[in-house]
Amino acid sequence: MTPEEIFRAMYRIRRVEEKCCEVYASDKIQSPIHLSIGQELASVAVCAALRKTDKVFGSYRSHALYLAKGGKLRAFVAELYGKSTGCARGKGGSMHLVEPEAGLLGTSAIVGSLIPVATGYAWAQKLKGSSVVTVCFFGDGATEEGCYFEALNFAALHSLPILFVCENNGYAIHTPLTARQSTSITSRAQAIGVPAISTMTYEGTMRAAESLVDRVASGYGATLLEVRAPRMKEHVGPGEDWGQGYRKRETEAGWTDPVECAEQDLDGPAVAARIRAEVDAEVAFAFAFAAASPYPGPEELMEHLHG
C-alpha cells in the first residue's frame, strides 16, 4: 500500500468511529460499541501486508479490522444500526462483524473464542496444501484464556500458517496487565514454541507486520505479533474513563497517534486535506444510508441459522 492508501485507511477508521461517538447518544446505534480509536495501527499494518485471499478473525473490538480488510463501510454502519443492509443483516451488531468476500470470517463477543477457530482454519489450509495465511486478532485479556495456550501449542506443534496478533492496550476491561501477568506476552508465546515480536512504534509495527506475514506465508509456521497501543476511549462505549480511578491520562501520554504518523508520510498537507474531505463525505453517506435502510422483517427471524 502507498502512503496515501495507508493514511486513508487509518483516517477512515478514525473518522467513522468518531462519528459513532457523535450519534451514540441518539440511540440510533442498536449495539454496544468497543472502539478502536488509538489502536488502528495493528489492523491497518497487518492487512496492508495480506492478500485478499488471506483470512482474518477478530474479537469484539474489530471495527478497524473489518474496514482495514476491505469490509464495506455502508454495511458496517448499517450493522451497527441493526438494519437489514448490514454485513450480518442487522443481527450481529458491532461485535459480530463478517465479510467473507473480503476475507473477514467473523468476530466474536466472547473473549478469546475465535483463537481456536482460527487455528482450526489454519490447520485445514495446511491439510489442503493451501497458500492462504490465517490471522487472528485478540486483546491482551484473551492471552489469559485456556484456549489461547492450547491453540498456540497446537499451532507450533503442527507449524500452522497462522499469525496471532495481540492488540495489547494494557487493560482487561479495568484491570491493568501488570496486575495480571508476571511475564510478557511474547515470552510466554516463545516458551510454547511460537516466535514472537513486540512493537509499539508506527514504523516498527509496519515493518514487523510485513516481515511476519511474509514469514508465515513462506512456510515457517505460527508466529505472534504483539502491538502495544492505547485504548483512548472507555472499554465499551463512546465516553472517556480517565476519572474512574483505574488509569490516568498521563499514563497514556507517551503514545503516538497512528493517524498523525501516517499523515507525516504524505506529500504535503494538501494531500491530507483532500483525503480527509473524501473520507468525510464517504462516512456521511454511509450514516445516511444506514439511517434510511429498513430493519429486518419478522420473516427473517429464522433465517441464516445453523443447527
In a domain, 305, yes or no: no
Q: What is the mean pLDDT of residues 24-28?
A: 93
Residue 272 located in a structural domain: yes
Q: Provide the pLDDT confidence category of residue 161 given band limits of 50, 70 and 90.
A: very high
Q: Is residue 239 part of a domain?
A: no
Residue 129 included in any domain: yes
Mean pLDDT score of the chain: 95
Q: Is the dihedral of CA 208, 213, 214, 215 positive or negative?
A: positive
User: Residue 272: is its pLDDT beyond 80?
Assistant: yes
Count of domains for the chain: 1
* SS3 state at 224: strand
193 in a structural domain: yes
pLDDT at residue 307 in the model:
62
Asked whether residue 48 is assigned to any structural domain, the reply reads yes
181: CATH: 3.40.50.970
On whether residue 302 sits in a domain, the answer given is no
For position 82, what pLDDT does the model report?
Answer: 96
User: What secondary structure does DSSP assign to 7-68, as a single string?
Assistant: HHHHHHHHHHHHHHHHHHTTT-S-S-----TT-HHHHHHHHHHS-TTSEEEE-SS-HHHHHH
What is the domain range of residue 265? 3-233+244-295
